[in-house]
A and B are shown apart, each in its own frame.
Chain A
Amino acid sequence: MADIADKKAADDVAPERRPLPRWIITTTSLACLLILWEIFGRDINPVFGSYPTAIAVAFWELLRSGELASALADSLRSFVLGYLLAIVVGVPIGLVLGRFRVAEAAFGFYITAGYAMPLVALVPLLMLWLGLGFTVKVSVVFLMALFPICINTWLGVTAVPKTLIEVGKSFVAPDIIILRRIVLPATLPYIMAGIRLAVGRAVVGMVIAEFFTTISGLGAVIINSANNFDTATMFVPIMILMVMAIGLNSFIGWVERKVAPWQAEIAGRERE
């Protein structure tokens, strides 16, 4: 009897379960996708689609020939410069728009309109202005990334608690100090979200620029292999761009935890 009672008591206590680590979940998800793709991809005409092992082979070919490295370096140059410029320009504009009523009324709608602007349609015009080279690529990346960063920063500023600004005022802090030492740090989570959103758009901008201007970089690899009906090779830069976006996203997350550690501590990361 005592045994049964003990056993029952033991059953009542929920066994301590370690939650599954994130990387296991992510890896499983990825593995499932790749396996399904491999199985079904093999049945498709290689002109219309491809599958992971064929893409891996094409990747190896591109890597060995050195074509991939030079294309990647080419793309990254315009990407990094345009993206960084967008951050350096977009954040201050967003701060000013959010903080000053006059600036918001005078310029806010340009930013909103710019965000919706079909930039692809303007690339030919940009080419007329800036030529076919590096400058126009940087500009397209810059314009694509600028607006989400700017709008998010702007939105973030309007969400800063009024009382924190009053703290600054009550200690007679000048506007510029309130902006730099209260509004900017309080807005950081929004800014980082904007910078993350901009990654995707910047990547799209980069590829578009490489399609329309001097065919170069990863965009050139895509276009050239598509023209040769070499679909497997075409997928290589596409996959690289997606992996790059994921990597950059995690990197930004890491930077965010470094520059705004209080944020994660306040919000916590408890989730089901």
Chain B
Amino acid sequence: MGQVTFSDVSKRFTLRVDGALHHVQAMDRVSFSVADGEIVALIGPSGCGKTTALRVAMGLDPSTSGRVTVDGHEVKGCGHDRGMVFQHAELLPWLSARQNVMFGLEMKGMRGAELRDTAEKYLELVGLKDSQNRRPHQLSGGMKQRVGIARALAIDPSVLLMDEPFGALDAQTRESLQAELLDIHARTGKTILFVTHDLDEAVLIADRIVVMKQGRVEEIMKVPLPRPRGDLGLVRGTPEFAETRYKVWQALHDGAGLH
């Protein structure tokens, strides 16, 4: 299970700039769905509403109209059926890597030996078993985000929501984490909805790409690359990759607003 559906979701913000009220239409009747076990990338220029969409799906922000459902249940606030991976990992700095993972589990009601074992299991999954006692500032950026992923996965959500999870990392770390995410996906079969502004990342990882612009869904594209993707370096060299990447690029640069 792990199906996400956006039906006509709109979101308006009101900002006060120099005393004047500005209405911002962050999402305008956004509709798309993510199938069970699928990886969908939300891509678009900054301010296109992609992060807002993710936050609405997580239940951190309410939508103005429309609704998001996860496995048929309407999203009303946060829930353990969704696991969020934040842009800058957002680990609690006073807790060790393991305690950070345990925090999410405790909130789900897990206690005792099971708690520790589960946290260790997921840290092992992201390759951090040996660093589990380190505190966040003793971890590199890539390691922090691995802990962030472990924390979200540990509560065994039906959907993993990721907000530009690798955007703040250097290119090499980003590539290895992308490969690792695909590996984790192959092993856990989680549904993943992730936000990115990186074309390559979207094409490399996703099954489908939702292109957003000015709060609207511009286009939804299938990525014609087989699973498992294998060596991502090789995938980058395939004509399918180049073609899809170009199509997404076109979708981002054509259309309303730029002509």
Contact = CB atoms under 8 A, between A and B. Distances in A.
Q: Answer yes or no: do A and B interact.
A: yes
Interface stretch (A58-66, A88-96, A165-173, A244-252): A165-173
Interface residues of B, number: 24
A12 interface: no
B137 A173 contact: no
B84 interface: yes
B134 to A, nearest CB: 11
Nearest to A266: B137
A163 B78 contact: no
B60 A169 contact: yes
A171 B135 contact: no
Contacts of B142: none
A185 interface: yes
A170 B88 contact: no
A35 interface: no
A171 to B, nearest CB: 4
Given A169-B60, A172-B107, A260 B94 contact: yes
Interface string B33-73: 00000000000000000000000001110000000000000
A168 B90 CA distance: 10
A181 interface: yes
A177 B84 CA distance: 18
Contacts of A265: 135, 137-138
Secondary structure at the B interface, as helix, strand, loop or mixed, is loop
A177 B94 contact: no
Interface string A26-54: 00000000000000000000000000000
A163 B92 contact: no
Nearest to A167: B90
Contacts of A185: 92, 94
Interface in A84-105: none
A164 B104 contact: no
State the main secondary structure of chain A at its contact with B: helix
Range class of the A interface residue count: 20 to 34
B52 to A, nearest CB: 14
B103 A164 contact: no
A167 B155 contact: no
A264 B210 CA distance: 44
Interface string A152-182: 0000000001011011111111000100011
Contact of A164 (B60, B90, B135): B90
Nearest to B86: A163
A172 to B, nearest CB: 5
A186 B91 CA distance: 12
Interface in A106-129: none
Interface string B96-118: 00000001100110000000000
A171 B155 contact: yes
Contacts of A169: 60, 78
User: Which of B103, B108, B137, B155 counts the most chain A CB atoms within 10 A?
Assistant: B103
A86 to B, nearest CB: 24
B152 to A, nearest CB: 8
Contact of B135 (A173, A177, A186, A262): A262
B174 interface: no
Given A163-B86, A262-B94, 5 more contacts: A168-B107, A170-B83, A182-B92, A262-B135, A265-B135
11 contacts: A161-B90, A167-B84, A170-B60, A170-B84, A171-B104, A171-B107, A171-B155, A172-B79, A177-B107, A186-B94, A266-B137
Q: Name the 9 nearest CB pairs between A and B, nearest first.
A: A171-B107, A170-B84, A171-B104, A185-B94, A173-B107, A163-B90, A262-B94, A167-B90, A262-B93
